[in-house]
Amino acid sequence: MTAISATQPQAPQATVSQSMPADWRDFFALTKPKVMRLVVFTALCGLLAAPGSIHPVIGFTAILCIALAAGGAGALNMWWEADIDAKMKRTQARPLPMGRIQRGDARDFGLLMSGASVMIMGLAVHWLAASALAFSIFFYVVIYTMWLKPRTPQNIVIGGAAGAFPPLIGWICVTGEITLMPILLFAIIFMWTPPHFWALALWVKPDYAAANIPMMPNAAGETSTRRQSLIYSVLLLPLSIAPWIIGETGAIYGISALMLSSVFLALTVPVGLRTSVEGDGMKPEKKLFAFSIFYLFALFTALVVDRVAAGFGAFA
Ligand code: HEM
Ligand SMILES: CC(C)=CCC/C(C)=C/CC/C(C)=C/COP(=O)(O)OP(=O)(O)O
C-alpha cells in the first residue's frame, strides 16, 4: 500500500516510483526523534527526582522502554496520518508521504515497539509503570491521533495528557505509586502544551487548513487562540512553583521555576495580546515556541539538580 493517493498534493520528489528503498534512517524518522528526546528527558528526570532508589540497570531499562513506547507511538501516529502528512508542507518529507516506507510496515514497526516497551517494562520494572505506559500510548494514538485531532480544536488540550505522562511513569518506576508530586509534574506539562503547540499552530495555520484539521487557530480564529495561550501561561506560573510551595522541592527548583515561568509568560504576552501580525514573519510566536522547548528542558533539569542537592533522588 502506498502512502499517498493521486488526489493529494505530492511532496517534493515524492512519487513512489522515485522512492529509494527504506533504510534505518527512515524507520528512525518514524519515531519522531526530535520531539521524543524531550519526552524521554522528562521521563528520565521524573525517575531521577523520585524518592527512593532504583538499580541503575533497571532505571536504564525503564527509560529505554519509555523511549521505545514514545517512538512506537510516534510511528503509529505517522501510519495513521500518512495522508494528512502528505498535505502539509511541514510533514511532506516524512518517510510515508515520500513513499520510502510502506504504510503497513510503519504500523507493524509501531506495534512491535509499543508492545515490546510495555512487556519489558512490566516484566523488568513495574506493572503499574507498564500500565501507565500502555495507557499513554493508547491516549496518544487512539484518543488524540484517531479520535480528537480530526474532530475538535480542544484536541491538544485533552490529547496533551499523553505527552504529560512520561515523568509520572519515570516516577512510578522508582516508587511504585502515584502521589501528589508526580501528578504535579503531569499537570505542569499538561498546562504547558497549549501555548507550546498553539505558538506553532499560529504560523502553520495554512498547513492545517490544507489538511482540514480543526486546530484552534483554524477553528476558533487566531485571536481566540492567542488569548487562550495566555491563560494557560498565566496558570502555568503558579503551577510550576507548586512543588516548592508545598515543600516537595527546595529553592533551587522553586526559583528556577519562577524565573523560567516568568520568561515564558513574558514571551506569551506579546503573542497573546497582539492583534496585527503583518510584516514580522510571526517572530514572537516562533520565539515562544523555541523557548517552550528550552523551558521544559531547563525546568526538569532544575528539578533533578534540586533533588540531588537535597540528597534525594533515585540514585542518591
Ligand atoms: C499533544 C501535545 C503536543 C502536540 C500536539 C505537539 C506538537 C508539536 C509539533 C507539531 C511540533 C513540530 C514537530 C515537527 O515539525 O517535527 C512539535 C515540536 C516539538 N515538540 Fe511538541 N507537541 C506536543 C507535546 C509535546 C511534549 C509533551 C513534548 C516534550 C515533553 C514536546 C516536545 C517538542 C519538541 C522538543 C519539539 C521540537 C522538535 C524539533 O526540534 O524540531 N511536545 N510539537
Ligand atoms: C510514552 C509516550 C507514548 C509518549 C508520547 C509522547 C507524546 C504524546 C508526545 C506528544 C508530542 C507530539 C509528537 C506531538 C505531535 O503532535 P502531532 O502528532 O499532531 O504532530 P505532527 O503533525 O507533527 O504529526
> Mind listing the pLDDT tens digit for each residue in 44-92?
999 999 998 999 999 999 999 999 999 999 999 999 999 999 999 999 9
How far out from the chain centre does Cα 78 lie? 14
- Which residue's alpha carbon is at the smallest distance from atom 12 of ligand 2? 35
Cα(80) to ligand 1 centroid in Å equals: 18
Q: Cα separation of 210 and 1, whole Å?
A: 23
The atom of ligand 1 lying closest to the CA of 37 is 35
C-alpha cell recorded at residue 250:
527546595
Residue owning grid cell 474532530: 151
Q: Which amino acid is at 173?
A: C
Q: Identify the segments of the chain with pLDDT beneath 50.
A: 1-18, 316
- Which residue's alpha carbon is at the smallest distance from atom 5 of ligand 1? 156
Cα(102) to ligand 2 centroid in Å equals: 21
Nearest to 303 by CA among 250, 251, 253: 253
Would you say 91 and 4 are in contact if contact means Cβ atoms under 8 Å apart? no
The predicted pLDDT at position 279 comes to 67
Cα(163) to ligand 2 centroid in Å equals: 7
C-alpha cell recorded at residue 39:
519526552
The predicted pLDDT at position 11 comes to 37
Give 171's contacts (C-beta < 8 A, 6+ positions apart): 46, 47, 49, 50, 178, 181, 182, 185
Would you say 256 and 309 are in contact if contact means Cβ atoms under 8 Å apart? no
C-alpha cell recorded at residue 179:
502521589
What pTM was computed for the model?
Answer: 0.92
Cα(140) to ligand 2 centroid in Å equals: 7
The predicted pLDDT at position 124 comes to 97
- Which residue's alpha carbon is at the smallest distance from atom 25 of ligand 1? 163
- Which residues sit with their C-beta closer than 6 Å to ligand 1? 34-35, 38-39, 42, 90, 144, 156, 159-160, 163, 189, 193, 196-197, 200, 293, 296
Q: Which amino acid is at 234?
A: V
- Which residues sit with their C-beta closer than 6 Å to ligand 2? 32, 35, 39, 66, 69-70, 73-74, 77, 81, 91, 136-137, 140, 149, 162-163, 165-166
- Which residue's alpha carbon is at the smallest distance from atom 7 of ligand 2? 163
ipTM of the complex: 0.95
- Which residue's alpha carbon is at the smallest distance from atom 1 of ligand 2? 70
Substitution site in 32, 141, 196 for ligand 1 pocket (most atoms within 8 Å of beta carbon): 196
Nearest ligand to the C-alpha atom of residue 170 = 2
The predicted pLDDT at position 149 comes to 97
The predicted pLDDT at position 313 comes to 56
* 265-301 burial code (b ≥16 CB/10 A, e <16): bebbeebbeeeebeeeebebbbebbebbeebbbbbbe
Fold of the 25-178 domain: Tetracycline Repressor; domain 2 (1.10.357)
Cα(34) to ligand 1 centroid in Å equals: 8
Interval 266-280: pLDDT, tens: 999 999 998 777 667
The atom of ligand 1 lying closest to the CA of 90 is 15
